């Protein structure tokens, strides 16, 4: 199983706005009875304009790498009898937090197209798919493939020109929609990607050690968070429970 399939994800955003108002008018005093004219039919009330739809919001989320560098992994697909390499990295909002998003670019030997595969957070709208661009370049569309409790896989197929742009680019902009149809833009740094993609693959033993270390770090953070929460709910000044005899 690839690195990108073992990461956790984070949640989404929501915004709401409310407006209100009121108005009032005075009527003139009626004329004496002998001077009264037939009452005019009251004018039809002016139609109340329909409330304008709220403007779509755009939320920009700057991410940082949560791994020291991009990792290139290669192996052979026995079914297709082809060598496949992928270059991947995880990204989050802080180095000491779980990743929010993972990126992997797959290169199948002999194929002209490459696959840009993302692991995105759950809670996003699936039907529009996603779009991504390098720096201020043209957007490329992609689709969701499958979702799991920890995130959703999405991918797009690109050719050499797009790959070259990614190698030279500085930022990858990933556009998605959240539950309230607002746009969320994940901004991912591309620094070091080109060197890793063109370089040698990591030794499988080194990769295994990195994965073990990562799992140990995640477990340590989980234990520290559990202890912090247990301490927060403890009753101040309460005597310790007596040890059973």
Helix (H) or strand (E) holding 129: none
Q: Which of 183-197, 200-214, 218-232 has the highest mean pLDDT?
A: 183-197
Confidence of residue 235 (pLDDT cuts 50, 70, 90): low
Q: Rounded distance, CA 233 to CA 245, Å?
A: 27
List, as one string, the DSSP characters of 142-194: EEEEEEETTEEEEEEEE-HHHHHHHHH-SEEEEEEEBTTS-EEEEEEE-TTHH
206 pLDDT band, cuts 50/70/90, is confident
Average pLDDT, the chain: 77
Q: Cα separation of 118 and 88, whole Å?
A: 10
What six digits make up the tokens of 64?
A: 């940082």
Distance CA 151, CA 102 (A): 10
Q: How many CB atoms lie within 10 A of CB 43?
A: 6
pLDDT at 214 over 90: no
In tens, the pLDDT along 121-159 reads: 999 999 889 999 999 999 999 999 999 998 999 999 999
218: pLDDT strictly greater than 80 = no
Q: Looking at per-residue confidence, does 203 or 180 come out higher? A: 180
The pLDDT of 227-231, averaged and rounded, is: 84
Asked if residues 137 and 189 have their Cβ atoms less than 8 Å apart, the reply is no
Task: Identify the structural domains of the chain with CATH numbers, from first to last.
Answer: 56-223 (2.60.40.1880)
Q: What is the DSSP letter of 196?
A: H
The span from the first CA to the last CA of the chain, in angstroms, equals 49
Residue 119 has a CB neighbour count (10 Å cut-off) of: 26
Tell whether the model's pLDDT for residue 173 goes beyond 60: yes
Residue 155 confidence (pLDDT): 97
Q: What is the average pLDDT across 17-46?
A: 37
CB atoms within 10 A of CB 234: 9
What pLDDT does residue 31 have? 39
Do residues 104 and 4 make contact, with C-beta atoms less than 8 angstroms apart?
yes
pLDDT above 70: residue 185? yes
Looking up tokens 């929501």 gives 14
Beta-strand relationship, 58-62 and 183-189: parallel
């Amino acid at each position: 199983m690839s690195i990108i399939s073992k990461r956790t994800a984070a949640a989404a955003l929501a915004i709401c706005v409310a407006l209100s108002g009121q108005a009032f008018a005075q009527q003139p005093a009626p004329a004496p009875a002998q001077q009264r004219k037939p009452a005019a039919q009251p004018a039809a009330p002016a139609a109340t304009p329909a409330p304008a739809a709220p403007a779509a919001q755009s939320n920009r989320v700057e991410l940082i790498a949560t791994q020291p560098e991009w990792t290139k992994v290669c192996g052979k697909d026995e079914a297709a009898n082809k060598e496949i390499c992928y270059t991947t990295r995880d990204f989050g909002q802080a180095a000491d937090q779980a990743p929010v998003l993972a990126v992997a670019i797959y290169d199948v030997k002999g194929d002209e197209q490459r696959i840009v595969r993302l692991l995105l957070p759950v809670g996003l709208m699936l039907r529009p798919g996603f779009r991504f661009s390098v720096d201020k370049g043209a957007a490329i569309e992609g689709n969701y493939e499958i979702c799991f409790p920890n995130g959703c896989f999405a991918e797009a197929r690109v050719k050499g020109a797009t790959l070259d742009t990614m190698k030279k680019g500085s930022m990858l902009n990933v556009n998605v929609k959240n539950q309230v149809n607002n746009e969320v833009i994940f901004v991912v740094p591309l620094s070091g990607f080109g060197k890793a993609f063109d370089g040698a693959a990591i030794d499988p033993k080194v990769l295994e050690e990195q994965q073990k270390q990562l799992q140990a770090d995640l477990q340590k953070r989980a234990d520290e968070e559990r202890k912090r929460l247990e301490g927060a709910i403890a009753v101040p000044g309460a005597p310790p429970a007596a040890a059973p005899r």
